[in-house]
């Protein structure tokens, strides 16, 4: 297994934040330190992609760079799954209401 350093984590978080921006998500990730470990935090952004306020929504993970990197990818995957499920439910609702109105 190759080394997963803070530099690798920063590059991965930048890539994931780019994907989040492309998908129109209203949240992004940032890297911070916690007592000698790495931490990944989620923060809100406005429609222009700029950070809103100074607070974070939640801490995603604290641990080694590798653990935080894994959690960052998992975080993005969860948002994508939620977005797909929401879209699927909206389409089902639209079909059901169209069917009931006939």
pLDDT of 99 strictly over 80: no
How confident is the model at residue 65, as a pLDDT? 95
Q: Tell me the mean pLDDT in the region 29-48.
A: 93
Q: Tell me the mean pLDDT in the region 57-62.
A: 95
Of residues 33 and 15, the one with the higher pLDDT is 15
CA distances 48 to 21, 25, 26, 52, 55, Å, are: 9, 11, 10, 10, 18
């Amino acid at each position: 297994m190759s080394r997963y350093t803070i530099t690798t984590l920063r590059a991965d978080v930048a890539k994931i934040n780019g994907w989040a921006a492309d998908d129109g998500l209203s949240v992004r990730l940032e890297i911070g330190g916690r007592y000698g470990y790495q931490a990944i935090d989620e923060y809100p952004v406005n429609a222009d992609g700029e950070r809103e306020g100074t607070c974070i929504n939640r801490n995603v993970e604290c641990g080694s760079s590798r653990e935080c990197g894994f959690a960052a990818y998992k975080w993005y995957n969860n948002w994508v799954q939620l977005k797909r499920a929401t879209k699927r439910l909206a389409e089902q609702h639209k079909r059901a209401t169209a069917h009931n109105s006939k």
